[in-house]
Chain A
């Protein structure tokens, strides 16, 4: 048999995996999106007319006000991350694992908090807790006759509070998702051995969820580090800076781009470190098969703790949703927002003023266009990349995975600086067009999109795809017919996250916009600088309504919870 007719060797093309060029293209896109601007940034930080220099670093790191800004940022990030954890983790456990009443509604309301742009929330809280005119303070003064206010939102604690109530959803989502994957029998085992429900939570559930908890904490911290709008609204009036507001002020005329670049570096390093830690936390986990048998999940009975727990949830939601939304609505319809909403005070002028303005209308169109485009491209790219890294399709896929999440490291303001430098010279003259905003958004939202896609794909056993391939389906067909349907809810979640992220993006937009390419967040910020509370409230309400409509449509298409809750039982 060995001497039989020479064996037919496969021709070169027969053996080539036709999918390879596509993966390489996706990888190249990623490299271009992220490494290029970062490269420029690094270069700018050491550039001077006489060659390379460390003078910029010396200047920014040695300057006391700048050091103060750094310190403020650290304080803000850690404390708000902690607070986000304290709020998000128990809430996640209560809604995912117990018999808390109104679980589904609470989950939806947490989503509302997630969707609310932090700067809008900050603005609403100015109206609620400004030390003199704030609604809550006035109420307090009327009830108690005190002179001093109860709350002063223009302070570091105030800023921490506002940041925390809008970043806790990150923690919440991470933990709720993980809890959804853990079968109850692991906890039942402990229960049978005599552990009370809180002991079970503490000793069994908690360690299993710990990676998700820490990961969520890190994510919240990273978000807090990069926020621009909330500090601009709450910290500046109180007379202190954070790194982001300071970076933004470096861009006043004349712009000091080199200093901005150098000042971004400590932040970049810190966040890179955090990311590394987070990767280690999550990296060792294997996936839980979607196609196999998931464990049964039963709820923990809270008993007499039911109503106190509900109270806590409602308090959180009041802070994040009810109160701010309420005051925004009131301000949208009031002539003078601080006066009670009497018939005299009621007006529709704010609405006509806002929507008759050409600036506003074109900003709305820009925002929607950019939102949809970025979400579609972003979801596709993220899914492709997550696929490539999860199935290890190219050498150096770990690097790809890292790059995809790397933009988290770059605060929006800094990214904007880098993009500005990279794309305001030939051959890539993008400043003044929507494209530079598109690039900024795509880069900025990639981590969120990728994380979600990554989690989704982890849950799809490779054997499901291998089964398709061995039966004759090529890589792309398998992707389309097997992976995609199974990943559908995850992909749609990715789309939603990216879209929402784009709508509420401010820190990069505020640097990259030009008068013809304004987006809604920039218009709101402009109005804030003028103190046009009524118009801001109108736009804010509109922005929120728009977002909720999109989310609702998505949820309808999806047929299940976008935030990753599983449906009980069976197929499909």
Chain B
């Protein structure tokens, strides 16, 4: 808790610094102010998204951020629905399903824009054509409630979760809602095949939607073990004092890089560019790492000591094209095994 307060102080400081810096330097600010706002469809957890928005608004007074947070799959659905009705609303789109960006790029719905300083980023965070860049990354992990499950009994590998002793004690999020989970499912299909999920379904896990949800379920003890979910959500919840512990299975953890892009039809292009630069700036990326528990593509970002580094983990990556192509299959088969 004290750590949290300290970080808040640092945040305030950062905001002040950013404000000074920004006002002094950015010529696009005028144009952005005229536009008045940037509309951001984001699948980043609401608290985190709103925090980022507040930072931006403080740094660039006069430009508002309209945060619309929902699950990755929903964001895509909304966008397509709006476009069908000829509504051009969204400026910056950020989901956790890399496959989406393959689709959007194909449909020429993205604007080519490279945020400042992003060339430093790790290769997995950059689109070769320059249409989208990885804003943040997380890995799918196992988590358990320390009050209900001792460290000795806790599952250590993905395969451990198939043990019948976990029947009725598991919770999983849904690839039909969450990009993080869709990525996870594909990664595990590569690792262990669809039979893995067939067997997992035998343990009758509770179904929730968002990759953020399992953290709440485990924290409350409603189900003691989560079989997936972004590690950053569990990290946040643990930091708040909940009895949650994270397990990074040795077989490998599915890496989810969540891209961000500006739409080709953005109604507030200048504000969008300003915003994009902002969120990819080192300072903001550092904030994401410090307080939200996220990983960044920027190699200069430092991480809290109680979190493993990406280089320490065995990462399971999935190809964005494959994710896009097999999206239907992932959702359908999941429903087939888990019922809904």
Tell me, yes or no, whether A and B come into direct contact in the complex with CB atoms closer than 8 A: yes
Residues of A within 8 A of B (CB): 65, 130-134, 154, 235-241, 245, 249, 251-255, 335-338, 353, 357-359, 424-425, 429, 431-432, 514-516, 526-527, 529-533
* A interface, over-half SS: loop
B168 contact set on A, CB distance < 8 A = 131
B40 (CB) vs chain A CBs: closest residue: A515
| Besides the known contacts A515-B89, A531-B215, 19 further A-B residue pairs in the complex with CB atoms under 8 A apart | A65-B336, A131-B222, A133-B220, A237-B207, A238-B207, A252-B176, A253-B73, A253-B77, A335-B240, A359-B69, A429-B85, A431-B82, A432-B82, A526-B69, A530-B46, A530-B212, A531-B210, A532-B216, A533-B216
* B85 contacts A432, C-beta separation under 8 Å: yes
CB-contact partner of A530 in B68, B210, B336, under 8 A? B210
Q: Measured between alpha carbons, how far is A385 from B336 in the docked complex, in Å?
A: 47
B71 at interface by CB-CB < 8 Å: yes
A251 contact set on B, CB distance < 8 A = 77
Contact A336-B242, Cβ < 8 Å, known A133-B222, A530-B46: yes
12 A–B contacts from the bound complex (CB under 8 Å): A132-B222, A235-B340, A239-B207, A252-B73, A254-B80, A336-B219, A359-B67, A432-B82, A514-B89, A530-B45, A530-B212, A531-B208
* A359 contacts B219, C-beta separation under 8 Å: no
B215 contact set on A, CB distance < 8 A = 531
B224 at interface by CB-CB < 8 Å: yes
B206 (CB) vs chain A CBs: closest residue: A237
Q: Measured between alpha carbons, how far is A336 from B220 in the docked complex, in Å?
A: 7
Q: Measured between alpha carbons, how far is A485 from B338 in the docked complex, in Å?
A: 57
A239 contact set on B, CB distance < 8 A = 204, 207, 338-340
* A65 contacts B222, C-beta separation under 8 Å: no
* B207 contacts A236, C-beta separation under 8 Å: yes
* B220 contacts A529, C-beta separation under 8 Å: no
List B188-235 residues whose CB lies under 8 Å from chain A.
204, 206-210, 212-217, 219-224
* A134 contacts B216, C-beta separation under 8 Å: no
Query: 8 tightest A-B contacts by CB?
Result: A239-B339, A531-B216, A338-B220, A531-B213, A133-B222, A515-B68, A253-B77, A431-B85
Q: Measured between alpha carbons, how far is A514 from B73 in the docked complex, in Å?
A: 15
A535 (CB) vs chain B CBs: closest residue: B46
A241 contact set on B, CB distance < 8 A = 339-340
B68 contact set on A, CB distance < 8 A = 359, 515
Q: Measured between alpha carbons, how far is A218 from B241 in the docked complex, in Å?
A: 49
Task: For residue B34, give the distance in angstroms from its CB to the closest CB of chain A.
Answer: 20
Task: For residue B315, give the distance in angstroms from its CB to the closest CB of chain A.
Answer: 26
B150 at interface by CB-CB < 8 Å: no
B70 at interface by CB-CB < 8 Å: yes
B331 at interface by CB-CB < 8 Å: yes
* B339 contacts A252, C-beta separation under 8 Å: no
* B46 contacts A432, C-beta separation under 8 Å: no
* A358 contacts B176, C-beta separation under 8 Å: no
* A154 contacts B206, C-beta separation under 8 Å: yes
Binary contact readout B135-172 vs A (1 if CB under 8 angstroms, 0 otherwise): 00000000000001000000000000000000010000
Q: Measured between alpha carbons, how far is A293 from B74 in the docked complex, in Å?
A: 60
Contact A358-B216, Cβ < 8 Å, known A237-B207, A530-B210: no
* A532 contacts B340, C-beta separation under 8 Å: no
CB-contact partner of B224 in A132, A238, A359, A431, under 8 A? A132
Task: For residue B284, give the distance in angstroms from its CB to the closest CB of chain A.
Answer: 20
B41 at interface by CB-CB < 8 Å: yes
B25 at interface by CB-CB < 8 Å: no
B9 at interface by CB-CB < 8 Å: no
B76 at interface by CB-CB < 8 Å: yes
A249 contact set on B, CB distance < 8 A = 176
B86 at interface by CB-CB < 8 Å: yes
B311 contact set on A, CB distance < 8 A = none
A425 contact set on B, CB distance < 8 A = 85
* A529 contacts B222, C-beta separation under 8 Å: no
B333 at interface by CB-CB < 8 Å: no
Task: For residue A466, give the distance in angstroms from its CB to the closest CB of chain B.
Answer: 51
A357 contact set on B, CB distance < 8 A = 46, 50
Task: For residue B57, give the distance in angstroms from its CB to the closest CB of chain A.
Answer: 10
Q: Measured between alpha carbons, how far is A532 from B237 in the docked complex, in Å?
A: 11
Q: Measured between alpha carbons, how far is A514 from B78 in the docked complex, in Å?
A: 7
B340 contact set on A, CB distance < 8 A = 235-236, 238-241, 245
B242 contact set on A, CB distance < 8 A = 336
A253 contact set on B, CB distance < 8 A = 73, 76-77, 80
B169 (CB) vs chain A CBs: closest residue: A132
Q: Measured between alpha carbons, how far is A270 from B46 in the docked complex, in Å?
A: 41
Q: Measured between alpha carbons, how far is A194 from B115 in the docked complex, in Å?
A: 90
B305 at interface by CB-CB < 8 Å: no
B102 at interface by CB-CB < 8 Å: no
Q: Measured between alpha carbons, how far is A132 from B225 in the docked complex, in Å?
A: 12
B87 at interface by CB-CB < 8 Å: yes
